[in-house]
Structure 1
Amino acid sequence: MMQFDVRKHDFLARTGNLRVNAEQIIHTPAVLDTAELFPALHKEMLTNLPLSAPASDAEKYFMRGQEPSSVHPNAVPDPEAGVYLFSNWNTVLDDSKRFLETMEGMYAKIRPDAARYAPAAALPSNAAMLVYCGFDLFDYTAVDLASVQGKFLLPEGEFDASWMDKGICCCEGCRTHNLKLHNRTALEREIALAGLWLERGQLREFVEMRCRLHAPQVELLRRIDRSQAFDASLPAVRSSRFMANAGESINRREIDLFEERLISRYHPPRNDVCVLLPCASRKPYSLSRSHQMFVKVVDSRAHEVIVTSPLGVVPRDLELVYPAGHYDVPATGFWDAEEQRILVERVSAYLDAHRYERIICHLDGGAREVVLEAAKRLGLSLECTCNDERPLSQESLRALNAALDGCRKVRNDFIHGTLLWQFGEDVDTKGLVVKGRYPQVKVLLKKQQLFTTDPSTGLIRPTHEGWERISGYRIKISPGFVPQGDILAPGVAECDPRIREGDEVFVTGENYAATGKAVMSAEEMLASNRGVAVKVRKTRK
């Protein structure tokens, strides 16, 4: 049986190694000649049932076959398969609703540590989306058919074969006027590009760019953003840049996760005075020139909350955490109606959950309009200190300083705020000393180190002593399982269901304890028979 090892996740997408035999390993995502890889596939009977076939037909006529094992929405998949074959997937490519519904149902049934093969589906124009949706293996069937039909294929779409002579491409196929070779090369290049963006943690940005010329793909992307079926596959954090350059960026599920934790886990260090501030292009905000001026004027006399698109709100004590410390967005000062509607909802949710006695609005432009609408909805009064539409003007800064006159000072404890957001626990940080240069610091109690920050993600990394203050995000390994380095999925006996990829976790077992980072969700750890579940940082036996 073939074995598939996932190397890296990016939401549903994966890079991996498919071990065919002792000598052959295929690195995915990949396009290849599946007639050579699966020589018996063309002999398999009753494995090609239409996806729309009812359960009664699946029971009578469907057979899973050998490797790759066919899957159907109304049939039970092979629990031991190394590769799953998604027959007839090409029939749902232009129907985003059916595509998503079928994918949700079938992914819920199959093992996460098996490769997914979409036959006769991949074209240069849809390959990135198919990789984004979690498919690993592809063939040349669709591009070879297009070649027979006289179609010149590019990521931008399908064109007449005469385009080969227009100097658009200089591949070997175009130089030799070989349409089939060009189309195959175009598909190979697109899948390779998708794999590279996946490795960077920015496949979503690549897909947002590629799908612009294909309405069904834009529809599918928007439907996926509205679906909660794949939330377990969302990473808790990333270390890559979050490029919010498309209209769909504001609806990314990572933003929802960030804002949901603001409501359900986080609470401000004070509830008397809040200052709403504009964002900055430099991250973290406090290292920007504008925010250094804001921090100097506020002088710890209020809780600072940044209002920004596409996130909504970012408390100062969470400015390092992904995606707050990682996003880039085109800054025009103008927020369109749809953008404002979404941001009003997010700002309203935050101000409703965390009721401040006073709210000072030091904003201009679209951010100011959003906050005014949110306050109107909630019946809140605002004190506006930026009346000249220039938050950094001397007049505005003097007005902000005057509004804070007499307010008590409360230090910004970003360690406490991040621990709340990250673990959902009110960890006592009184008496702790922060050393180092922000944002890379160590947190000590006397001489004992409890926490460090991870500047790449914004999360807190507890030491063994730090984990004594946290009760959740634990993983228990099976009795008799002796880890030799990282924790493998088969060795996981129990785990906190809240764990997502990227979360800091604490692993315990017989005479064993380790700190590390989850590289799978809790759901995937328990369902997988292969793969690394936790990258171990430090062990104690």
Structure 2
Amino acid sequence: MKNAKIPCITELSLHRPEVVRWQQRMQLLKPYTDTVVVLPCSMKKPYSQSKSHTLFRKYTKGLQEVILTSPFGICPREMEKTYPIQSYDASTTGDWSDEEIKTSGKCLKDYVGDRKVIAHVSGGYRAACEEYLDNVVYTCTDGNTRSNKSLENLKIAVKKADKVSQSKHRIHDLQSIARYQFNTKKADKLIPENTQTRGRFNTRILVDKTQIATLHFETGLYTLNLPAGEILKEEKINRVFINFDLQSNTLFTPGIDDADENIIPNDEVVIINNDEVVGVGKSTMSGKELVESTKGVGVKIRHQIK
């Protein structure tokens, strides 16, 4: 699936459904280090491939990074390849309105909590930090985050912070994506501590040598295998209930008895018959529509019990 670009040109973008949903779900995520580095967004997506972030990351690896961006508010580094944050177009001048400063500042404050902050920002990005954060070290003193002076300040500041290894925050990153996608902290159960990954582009998620999901390069989101369906069933996440044996890879709405109300279109769901997982796939409708609709495809089934 090719993700369409999301134009975010005016302040009205702050109220787009994708933006509101993103901000709400960011409340489920938490930093993995006691010090958080705040960085400005870039025009290029994902941010880490931009020239500016390539420079920043020479010093910030091993610390939780969070990118300030309008209209989405914040983007923790591990979420930068996830739809829709990897597919929006917006100005990156840092010349923000009061409403943009307020929205991003509140998101940042909720995410950071009482942790220490190293803010490598200027302009509207800095205004958001100054208004909503307390325990902050500012490393950009000349208005240019890419200047030698600013980068040297960043280097000095991060040296004083306790970093963690790549292996230790890998699980945190995968769990953050799961929390965002399934809109619950219970999604951590999909990514236990012994999770392994395989693959360079589409990443296979393995637990005890069994593949439970795939993290897709294009969307930055998971598609599920049947073992993950068992976890969703136990945790009561995105369930669709039927009372017949599946005969094809398409589940039509007349055959659906019930579904969790919080399901939205394109969500990964588990199909349950007589308290047994019989399939996993992608919903085409909301949970309410799955139950109330009298015609149409409800779930496109990816895997099912043979």
Give TM-score, length-normalised by structure 1: 0.51
Is there any run of 5+ residues in structure 2 with no aligned partner, and where?
none
- Give the distance between the partners of 2:7 and 2:77, measured in 1 at CA: 21
- The question of 1:299 aligning with 2:53 is answered no
Q: Which has the larger radius of gyration?
A: 1
1:70-469 aligned within 5 A: 239-263=3-27, 265-270=28-33, 272-300=34-62, 302-335=63-96, 337=97, 340-352=98-110, 354-375=112-133, 380-406=134-160, 407-411=162-166, 412-413=169-170, 414-423=173-182, 424=184, 425=186, 426-427=188-189, 428-438=191-201, 440-469=202-231
Q: CA deviation at 1:509?
A: 1.7
- Give the distance between the partners of 2:54 and 2:206, measured in 1 at CA: 26
SS in 2 for 1:487: strand
Q: CA deviation at 1:519?
A: 0.7
How many matched pairs?
293
**Taking structure 1 as reference, are residues 328 and 322 closer, same or farther at Cα in structure 2, changes over 3 Å only?**
same
Is there any run of 5+ residues in structure 1 with no aligned partner, and where?
1-199, 201-237
Give TM-score, length-normalised by structure 2: 0.87
Superimposed CA distance per residue, residues 412-469 of structure 1 (whole angstroms, 9 cap, x where no aligned partner): 432111011122122343222222225x322223532222112333212222123334
- Tell me if the contact between 1:434 and 1:444 (Cα under 8 Å) persists in the aligned partners: yes
- Tell me if the contact between 2:36 and 2:65 (Cα under 8 Å) persists in the aligned partners: yes
Q: CA deviation at 1:387?
A: 1.0
Q: CA deviation at 1:314?
A: 0.7
Q: CA deviation at 1:384?
A: 0.3
SS in 2 for 1:498: coil
**Taking structure 1 as reference, are residues 287 and 370 closer, same or farther at Cα in structure 2, changes over 3 Å only?**
same
What is the CA RMSD across the aligned residues, in angstroms?
2.2
**Taking structure 1 as reference, are residues 399 and 286 closer, same or farther at Cα in structure 2, changes over 3 Å only?**
same
- Tell me if the contact between 1:311 and 1:343 (Cα under 8 Å) persists in the aligned partners: no
- Tell me if the contact between 1:314 and 1:324 (Cα under 8 Å) persists in the aligned partners: yes
- Tell me if the contact between 2:195 and 2:205 (Cα under 8 Å) persists in the aligned partners: yes
- Give the distance between the partners of 2:107 and 2:60, measured in 1 at CA: 24
Superimposed CA distance per residue, residues 451-494 of structure 1 (whole angstroms, 9 cap, x where no aligned partner): 211233321222212333432112111x2353422111111112
- Tell me if the contact between 1:442 and 1:453 (Cα under 8 Å) persists in the aligned partners: yes
**Taking structure 1 as reference, are residues 404 and 330 closer, same or farther at Cα in structure 2, changes over 3 Å only?**
closer
- Tell me if the contact between 2:197 and 2:205 (Cα under 8 Å) persists in the aligned partners: yes
Q: CA deviation at 1:512?
A: 5.9
- Give the distance between the partners of 2:300 and 2:291, measured in 1 at CA: 16
- Give the distance between the partners of 1:431 and 1:482, measured in 2 at CA: 33
Superimposed CA distance per residue, residues 309-332 of structure 1 (whole angstroms, 9 cap, x where no aligned partner): 111111111112222111111333
- Tell me if the contact between 1:276 and 1:361 (Cα under 8 Å) persists in the aligned partners: yes
Superimposed CA distance per residue, residues 49-86 of structure 1 (whole angstroms, 9 cap, x where no aligned partner): xxxxxxxxxxxxxxxxxxxxxxxxxxxxxxxxxxxxxx
- Tell me if the contact between 1:262 and 1:421 (Cα under 8 Å) persists in the aligned partners: yes
Identity of aligned residues (%): 29
- The question of 1:513 aligning with 2:269 is answered no
**Taking structure 1 as reference, are residues 533 and 255 closer, same or farther at Cα in structure 2, changes over 3 Å only?**
same
SS in 2 for 1:240: coil
Instruction: Spell out structure 1 runs of 4+ moving beyond 4 A.
Output: none
Superimposed CA distance per residue, residues 20-46 of structure 1 (whole angstroms, 9 cap, x where no aligned partner): xxxxxxxxxxxxxxxxxxxxxxxxxxx
Structure with bigger RCO (C-alpha 8 Å, 6+ apart): 2
- Tell me if the contact between 1:304 and 1:315 (Cα under 8 Å) persists in the aligned partners: yes
